[in-house]
Chains A and B, each alone.
Chain A
């Protein structure tokens, strides 16, 4: 008996070895290095000045503007993705349609971005169309609009997928029941469909908001550096000023922000599920 239990325990621990190795080598070690570097100045001396430097107006302003744009991108992605996902589930060949929406995300990000430079240029097809309609040429590239538009375009598939899965798993009988009990379409949506797909929405928000916080290439190519995010600052610290300490410090804050967002979205989720069960 005793012997058997022992083997059981080793059996239980052994499967963890590859995973923990993986996590130590490729997750914990890199994050540890970032934290480690963030405590050194240019001369390689131990310092906390990088952290105090982060709380100066330049970086705080950067943080606020990063959050604002990430919020806009997430908001518009959700606004478009939710109805799209909803109608997708109603279609006959929904998996095929879903695939068609996912395919653009297989194309390299840089290529898509360059394509938009051509499309939105002064002599590009969008302006040609505007002119044909008598609206006239407009500067589209290098505006807040172009930045949010292109980012939303890039992130939409990632928002649609989890919402589609949540909607697809929704038991249609629940909607019928809600209707039978006299709820109109709006009440059915707000009281039944939305709460039951909230988890999909939350994972959608996570996969869009978090990367949107640190976008950097699109800020230059599409927004002409009129939009500056924490990602831009990190790139500059590492590649131009070679100040790895400051670059790492910004990265540490970015990680902290992401942890907070993850906690916020998952904590609510658990609370919801718990209270749901009790009732």
Chain B
């Protein structure tokens, strides 16, 4: 009988211990104290040498944690119990976090290196006057293709993807706004369309693409393109850069109708513990030499104008990564459309995927 009570107690204790462990894990960076800085960033999104350099210069110990989706990152910040000092959301997520009051307004007197940022990338609609965020990297969405596997097809227009000769050749990223966005772009509609009629039209057009589609997958796209398994893919410029560094046959293009222009941005979330350290880190990352070295390592485009002088001119003059102002005019930044609309996009995307047999 006693052993049974013990058994019951054991389960209650186990549950309690699990809860405590969970709480402890959640505040992982919390041993923080004065001299640590917890950076919460995408994987492979910073040159590790720069973290070492920052630690050496300032004596601040950096804890680097990674996430793989904006939504997952926001979830952890919203829950609280964490002590992230810096994080790097995409533009629509900055908007969402701002609305949820999860960000701290930046004090620019502590970030003198802000002057290095290209004014073109300042004061964007998702964060007027850069009150909460500073662009970290930017890029586009376009088509990576391998001419050696194709018979001379080019992709000046989105409609070229519908070419009947590309049967079973096209790989799409498994992401609703990107794929529905391709349909919208090809019809000349806005990427931020909330008009059900336009979205329906885009979905119907995408359904006619199904004979050309090989698969709709996630990050595996990069590997497949590198290994010549796929010839054409809808992909972000940074991943296209990864492909090209491994497989020289591949090239990347943004079709002329326009596409998505995206930004990942440094912000200080509400969970911050070491705010001085956070400012030091931001200012450090905005130094031209540092930003240049980081861009070299990561392979995405830097919004740091001064940094371009420290980089290989072959890269910075490459229209695929640094399109000129005219080409940029066709690009559109995602707006936060609200959860209802995001749900509608995803339902259409599901419908499109189910139609793809």
Contacts and interface: CB of A to CB of B under 8 A. Distances in A.
Nearest to B96: A242
Given A123-B228, A123-B229, A228-B354, A21 B8 contact: yes
A61 B354 contact: yes
A225 B343 CA distance: 19
Majority-rule SS of B interface residues = helix
A167 B5 CA distance: 41
Nearest to A65: B354
B356 interface: yes
Interface stretch (B21-29, B211-219, B272-280): B211-219
A17 interface: yes
Nearest to B75: A242
Interface string A211-253: 0000000001101111010001100110111110010000000
Nearest to A7: B1
Interface string A33-61: 00000000010000000000000001001
B354 A242 contact: no
Contact of B217 (A58, A65, A220, A236): A220
B228 A18 contact: no
Chain A CB within 10 A, most for which of B8, B215, B220, B351 = B215
B215 A224 contact: yes
Contact of B4 (A17, A61, A223): A17
B174 to A, nearest CB: 6
Interface in A17-32: 17-18, 21-22, 25
B169 to A, nearest CB: 10
A225 B216 contact: yes
Nearest to B349: A236
B227 A121 contact: yes
Nearest to A224: B215
Contact of A15 (B4, B215, B216): B4
Interface string A116-149: 0100011100000000000000010110000000
B176 A25 contact: no
Nearest to B357: A226
A111 B300 CA distance: 30
B17 interface: no
Contacts of A275: none
A62 interface: yes
Contacts of B356: 225-226
